[in-house]
Amino acid sequence: MELISSTKSFGGWLKRYKHESLSVKGDMTFAIYLPPQAETQKVPVLYWLSGLTCTDENFTQKAGAFRKAAELGLAIVCPDTSPRGTDYPGEHESYDFGSAAGFYLNATVAPYSNTYHMYDYVVQELPHLVEANFPVTDKRSISGHSMGGHGALICALKNPGHYLSVSAFAPIVNPTDCPWGEKAFTGYLGEDKSTWQEWDASLLIANAKERLPLLVDQGEADNFLAEQLKPEALEAACEQAGHPLTLRRQPGYDHSYFFIASFIDEHLEHHAKALS
């Protein structure tokens, strides 16, 4: 790993690293916040997955999470949102597909199938790297925003026992039935919609092997609420399957990091309780 930067914050350290990834066959960047407790003991980890157009820096610079993370003794790991350094046809032409829009799945359609394996990177490679090189335990939680909320939900639902808690802000909960998901899934997975189902949280709920409680915050003034996010789909799936869900509809809040910063402390407390 190559250290890019190191910044002290609330007694801990925010560090950014670049490393060669086997999953995406190229360099990846991630950030890790190590609370002050990490200087004397191993600490649990929350993995944060960011949304469309983002990098690891959006959360670290805008969420205001480090004061509470330092208090709770919680490390936070923030990966990038897609592979970088490739130049596939159309990869950089739109904000909702390709660069910065990896959707945390494993692509099966060429050329994206060569490198767009963000699911393998987040679930397998990155935790292995973090746990081997930093003073952290193997206790993990996962959270995210928008596309990253989708990623957090599917990673938890598809890997029982791998995470101790999961939460999301304004997640894309039913990507097989919204414009963002339909565009991305067609490009990454192909036209056969039966192959899409394993990457849709609302469809995974019915056969989930672990009933890990879901915490979801959704702003009611979110511009993407009706067309793209559709929290009612997740709500209906959880009700039918008896899956525990706390869906908090927050009046007046939009899709921005002002929304995330307003409730991030409560999410960190939710994860710290499960990780302790």
Model pLDDT for residues 190-237, shown as the tens digit of each residue: 999 999 999 999 999 999 999 999 999 999 999 999 999 999 999 999
Catalytically annotated residue among 222, 243, 270, 271: 222
Catalytically annotated residue among 21, 143, 146, 165: 146
Domain assignment of residue 146, given as a range: 2-275
Active site residue 243: no
Active site residue 146: yes
SS percent in the chain: helix, strand, coil, step 5: 40, 25, 35
How far is Cα 257 from Cα 113, in angstroms, rounded to an integer?
31
Q: For residue 115, what pLDDT is reported?
A: 98
Q: For residue 21, what pLDDT is reported?
A: 98
Least confident piece of the model among 26-30, 83-87, 271-275? 83-87
76: confidence class by pLDDT, cuts 50, 70, 90: very high
Dig out the tokens for 153 from the structure.
Answer: 């939900």
Q: For residue 38, what pLDDT is reported?
A: 98
Mapping DSSP to helix (H, G, I), strand (E, B) and coil, where does residue 162 land?
Answer: coil
Contact by Cβ (8 Å): 70, 36: yes
Q: For residue 93, what pLDDT is reported?
A: 95
CATH no. for residue 257? 3.40.50.1820
Instruction: Provide the number of structural domains found in the chain.
Output: 1
Active site residue 270: no
Contact by Cβ (8 Å): 127, 31: no
Q: For residue 186, what pLDDT is reported?
A: 98
Average pLDDT, rounded, for the chain = 98
- Please compute the mean of the pLDDT values over residues 38-63 and round it to a whole number: 98
pLDDT tens track for 79-133: 999 999 999 998 999 999 999 999 999 999 999 999 999 999 999 999 999 999 9
Catalytically annotated residue among 150, 255, 267, 271: 255
Q: For residue 53, what pLDDT is reported?
A: 98
Q: For residue 10, what pLDDT is reported?
A: 98
Burial class (CB in 10 A: 0-12, 13-18, 19+), 240: exposed
Q: For residue 254, what pLDDT is reported?
A: 98
> CA of 210: how far to CAs of 82, 115, 126, 165, 238, in Å?
28, 30, 23, 11, 12
- Please compute the mean of the pLDDT values over residues 154-164 and round it to a whole number: 98
Q: For residue 217, what pLDDT is reported?
A: 98
Q: For residue 107, what pLDDT is reported?
A: 98
